[in-house]
Structure formats: structure tokens, C-alpha cells
Structure 1
Amino acid sequence: MKTYSHQHLDPAGAWDRTYLESLIREDFEQCHPGETLEDLKWRGSFSREDRGLLRDWMALAAARAAAAMRG
């Protein structure tokens, strides 16, 4: 059985990707001055390293969304 590091994300899209990105955008851009989340998403389409970095940031976003839902 194949497992994915982001399997906690609902594949049916319970959390909208735009919402998840909004939870990390400011922090990402503070950590990477002069770079946007869109830059990372674009590079992730052809760079394994950037795809991994984006996956890690999206996992953080999912964790923040889950914490917000728990209250």
C-alpha cells in the first residue's frame, strides 16, 4: 500500500487549497524574503526539492486548519 506524507489531507478537498495557502502565505514570505508562495508552487512543478518544501508548508497549513477546527 502506498502512503503519502500528506495523507492527512482529505483528497476530496474538505479544506480548500486556497484557504490552506492563506494560513501559511505570510509566514512563508517572511521566512523567504523576496519570494512568494506562488514562486514556490511554480518551481515545485519541476523541482523535487521545491515540491518537498511546498508539501511541508502545506502540511503545516493543514495542521493549523485542524487546530482551528478543534477550537
Structure 2
Amino acid sequence: MTQRDLTITEVLRDPLIRQVMRADRISVARMANLLQDAARKQERALSANLVPIAHAAVRSVPQADLR
């Protein structure tokens, strides 16, 4: 079984999440803005971390002899 993250649209349509939003008095627009902002921040963080990872992959790493 594979699991994936919900899209922002799916989150905003989920009945349980909508119930919690109502209880917390969070509007759909405010929640959408919050999720979009979090997605942008995550994308920037991932992009910033890709450069060092790409450089690390180019370096040769000694392999253990498992024979």
C-alpha cells in the first residue's frame, strides 16, 4: 500500500479537516493561504538542499567489499 500527501484541494475538501477548521474558526481562504505558504517554504528549502546533495553524489565514495 502506498501513501501520498493530500493536495491542498483535497485537504480543504476533507470533512474531518473542515470540522476542525470550523471548531477553530479558520476560514477556507485562511487555511488555503497557510497551506500554500507552507508549500512554498518547503519547496525553497528542498531546492536549497539539492545543490549540496548533487555535489555529494558526484564524489566517489569507497564501497565496502562484501565478498
Could you tell me the TM-score, scaled by structure 1's length? 0.37
TM-score, normalised via structure 2 length: 0.39
Q: Over alpha carbons, which structure has the higher Rg?
A: 2
